[in-house]
Amino acid sequence: MAASMDKEYVLITGATSGIGYALAEVFASHGYGLILVSSTMSHLLTAQCKLKAEYAVPILIYEQDLAVNDAAFKLYASLKADDVRFNILINNAGLGLIGKSETLDADRELQMLTLNIISLTMLCKLFIAEHQQSGGRILNVASIGAFQPGPYTASYYASKAYVLSYTQAIRCEAKNSGIHISVLCPGSTHTAFFTKAGKPTPKFAGSPERAAKAAYHGLMKDQEIIIPGMMNQLIRWLPKRLKMAAVAKMKI
């Protein structure tokens, strides 16, 4: 497969819907080859078909559930076996759970933490080690919730706070390596997050396309923290107690 890797490629996790799919569209529109990763092959095939109909770029697909132990290493092993190389890593895959902490299913919560924290961390670790000489870019997707505690989304918000903190730290470590690292902190977005949680999507939710465009331009400008939308940028600086009360009211 190495012979076909004659252009820049971006690997996107959670690439079949929401912000992940919108990111695939944005990068394809700029001529990047795509490596799409998801836990469901049927969704990957559908996304690949739709993107091929719109963009004349190569599109590779990999089925890998990143919510299981050692998933990042398994994915990298598959890529190595196929001699697939890429210049940009986008850790978009994520899971959120809504409810009082003691009522959440423990196994599902462990899967969320594995996906949101462990797999993201290991993928960054592997990418940075491999690109010390060649350089590259990493975009980690956090949330506007990364800046505050989240009642009724306690472990989810905490996992996104980890993503924000971790990304800022490795960005500092990598500043002389040619690897540019950014974090995307979108606000509420029209994705499957609220549907899966059995909650209505907030009326003020933004579009995945807007978030993806902001992410692309911010990443290319080496912006440290990317927050789409003026309202979300203002929310970041509101008092934590006020934001916590608002979040608790939405989740009850």
> If DSSP codes are grouped into helix, strand and coil, which group holds residue 136?
strand
Rounded Cα distance between 117 and 43, Å, is 23
Residue 156 a catalytic site member:
yes
Rounded Cα distance between 226 and 222, Å, is 10
Q: Which of 9, 62, 152, 156 is the catalytic position? A: 156
Which helix (H) or strand (E) element contains residue 164? helix 154-173
Under 8 Å between Cβ of 146 and 164? yes
Contacts of 106 (CB under 8 A, 6+ apart): none
Which helix (H) or strand (E) element contains residue 59? strand 59-63
> If DSSP codes are grouped into helix, strand and coil, which group holds residue 208?
helix
Q: Which residues are catalytic?
A: 156
